[in-house]
C-alpha cells in the first residue's frame, strides 16, 4: 500500500481566512443612495456606493474574494508574495489584504496610472512595477511571480469564479435586499461597467438564478474590447489600446467577461464619461470617479428610454469610487484638453436630460 500525503499545517490558512472574514464583519454593507430625479418622472435611480469600502472602491469586494479563493485553493500560504496586474484600484485593495495577512505585494500597472492611485497602493505597503503598454501587464506579472516563487492573482481570469454568485451577500444580493421596501423593488435595469467582467457576471447570473425580470446593461468606454467582442460574438476580440477611464475597459475581452448574461451593451464616449462624472459630482456635492460617470451616462439613457415609453420603475448603477483620486486628470481642465476631449457637447446632453428627461446623446 502506498501513500502520498501532502497535508500541511493549516494554522496560517485558518487564521488568514478568519482575518479576512473579521474585516468583512467590521465593514457594514455599502449604502444604496437615491439619485435626485424629478418625482413626476416616476422613475427612481439608485447608486450602490462602493466608495465606502475600506479601500475606497468596488474592487474591495473583488480583492476579498480573490484572496479567499487563492487561500482556500492552496495557492497562497504564509510568506507567499502576491503579484497582480491592475490599472490601479484592484491593486490598492489587494495591497490592503496582503498587508492584513503580512504578505508582500507587487502591483504591475501601466505607466499612465494616476499618481494618486500609485500613492494609495504604496500607502497600503505595496510596490509598483510599471510597464509601458497595458497588454504587457499580464506576462510581466506572471514572470515576476514565477521569478520570486510567488502567486500571480490574475484578476482577469479568476474574477468571475472567485465570487459566490448565488448569494453570500454578493453585490447583487445586497442590491435586491436594499430595494425590498422601495416603490419598485425589482429594477428594470442594473447598469455596470466591465474591467475584469466579474461584477457583471455575478449580477447577471444572480438575476437569472433568482428569476428576476431585471435586465443587465454593461457600459464600455472608448478603446475597450468588450463592446466589440459582444457585438461580434468574438471572445478573442482585441483593440490593443488602453482605456482612459480607469477601472473599466480593457484592450482585450477578458476571460472573466461572460457576455451571455448581458442583455445590452452601451458604448460611451470618454468625453461623456468625464462630463457625467463632473455633472453627478455637482448634483451629489461630492466627487465621483470616471467609471461612475460612464455608468450614469448609460443609466440616464435607459431612464430616458423608459420615460419616452411611459414606463415607471427603477434603475440601479454603481458609484464605483470617489473622484478625489482623479483630481489631476478628470477634474483638471488641462487633462481632457490634452486628450483632445471636448466636454461641452455631452454636458449639454446632460443638461437637457436633467431639464426634460429627453436624451439627445
Concatenate the DSSP letters of all residues of 229-280 into one string.
HHHHT-TT-B-----SSTTS--SB--TT--GGG-SEEEEE-HHHHHHHHHHH
pLDDT at 5: 64
pLDDT at 33: 97
Taking 3-state DSSP, the helix, strand and coil percentages for the chain, each rounded to the nearest 5, stand at 45, 15, 40
Supply the DSSP string of 33-82, one letter for each residue. EEE---GGG-EEEEEEEGGGSTTSBTHHHHHHHHHHHHHHTTS--TTPPE
- Is-contact 239 224, C-beta < 8 A? yes
| CA distance linking residue 337 with residue 314, whole number of Å | 35
Q: Which of 70, 87, 157, 81 is nearest to 126 (CA)?
A: 81
Per-residue pLDDT of the chain (361 residues; tens, 9 = 90+): 777 666 677 999 999 999 999 998 887 689 999 999 999 999 999 999 999 999 999 999 999 999 999 999 999 999 999 999 987 889 999 999 999 999 999 999 988 887 888 999 999 999 999 998 888 889 999 999 999 999 999 999 999 999 888 867 699 999 999 999 999 999 999 999 999 999 999 999 999 999 999 999 999 999 999 999 999 999 999 999 989 998 899 999 999 999 999 999 999 999 999 999 999 999 999 999 999 999 999 999 999 999 999 999 999 999 999 999 899 999 999 999 999 999 999 999 999 999 999 999 8
pLDDT at 6: 66
End-to-end CA, the chain: 72
Q: Which of 152, 95, 106, 156 is nearest to 129 (CA)?
A: 106
pLDDT at 117: 83
pLDDT at 133: 84
pLDDT at 167: 67
Amino acid at each position: 500500500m502506498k501513500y502520498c500525503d501532502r497535508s500541511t499545517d493549516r494554522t496560517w490558512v485558518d487564521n488568514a481566512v478568519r482575518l479576512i472574514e473579521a474585516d468583512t464583519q467590521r465593514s457594514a454593507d455599502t449604502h444604496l443612495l437615491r439619485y435626485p430625479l424629478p418625482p413626476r418622472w416616476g422613475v427612481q435611480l439608485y447608486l450602490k456606493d462602493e466608495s465606502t469600502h475600506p479601500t475606497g472602491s468596488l474592487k474591495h469586494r473583488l480583492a476579498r474574494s480573490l484572496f479567499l479563493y487563492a487561500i482556500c485553493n492552496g495557492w497562497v500560504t504564509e510568506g507567499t508574495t502576491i503579484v497582480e496586474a491592475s490599472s490601479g484600484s484592484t491593486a490598492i485593495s489587494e495591497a490592503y489584504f496582503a498587508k492584513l495577512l503580512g504578505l508582500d505585494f507587487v502591483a504591475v500597472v501601466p505607466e499612465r496610472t494616476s499618481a494618486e492611485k500609485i500613492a494609495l497602493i504604496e500607502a497600503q505597503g505595496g510596490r509598483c512595477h510599471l510597464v509601458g503598454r497595458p497588454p504587457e501587464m499580464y506576462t510581466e506579472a506572471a514572470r515576476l511571480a514565477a521569478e520570486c516563487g510567488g502567486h500571480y492573482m490574475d484578476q482577469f481570469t479568476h474574477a468571475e469564479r472567485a465570487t459566490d454568485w448565488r448569494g453570500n451577500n454578493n453585490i447583487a444580493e445586497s442590491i435586491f435586499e436594499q430595494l425590498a421596501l422601495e416603490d419598485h423593488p425589482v429594477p428594470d435595469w442594473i447598469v455596470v461597467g466591465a474591467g475584469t467582467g466579474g461584477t457583471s457576471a455575478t449580477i447577471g447570473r444572480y438575476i437569472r438564478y433568482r428569476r428576476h425580470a431585471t435586465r443587465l446593461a454593461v457600459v464600455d468606454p472608448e478603446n475597450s474590447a468588450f463592446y466589440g467582442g459582444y457585438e461580434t460574438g468574438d471572445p478573442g476580440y482585441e483593440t490593443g489600446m488602453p482605456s482612459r477611464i480607469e477601472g473599466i475597459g480593457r484592450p482585450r475581452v477578458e476571460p472573466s467577461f461572460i457576455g451571455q448574461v448581458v442583455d445590452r451593451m452601451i458604448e460611451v464616449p470618454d468625453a461623456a464619461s468625464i462630463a457625467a462624472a463632473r455633472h453627478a459630482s455637482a448634483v451629489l456635492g461630492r466627487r465621483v470617479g470616471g467609471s461612475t460617470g460612464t455608468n450614469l451616462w448609460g443609466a440616464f439613457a435607459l431612464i430616458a428610454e423608459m420615460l419616452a415609453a411611459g414606463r415607471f420603475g427603477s434603475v440601479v448603477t454603481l458609484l464605483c469610487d470617489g473622484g478625489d483620486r482623479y483630481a489631476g486628470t478628470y477634474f483638471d481642465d488641462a487633462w481632457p484638453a490634452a486628450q483632445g476631449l471636448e466636454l461641452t457637447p455631452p454636458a449639454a446632453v446632460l443638461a437637457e436630460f436633467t431639464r426634460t428627461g429627453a436624451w439627445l446623446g
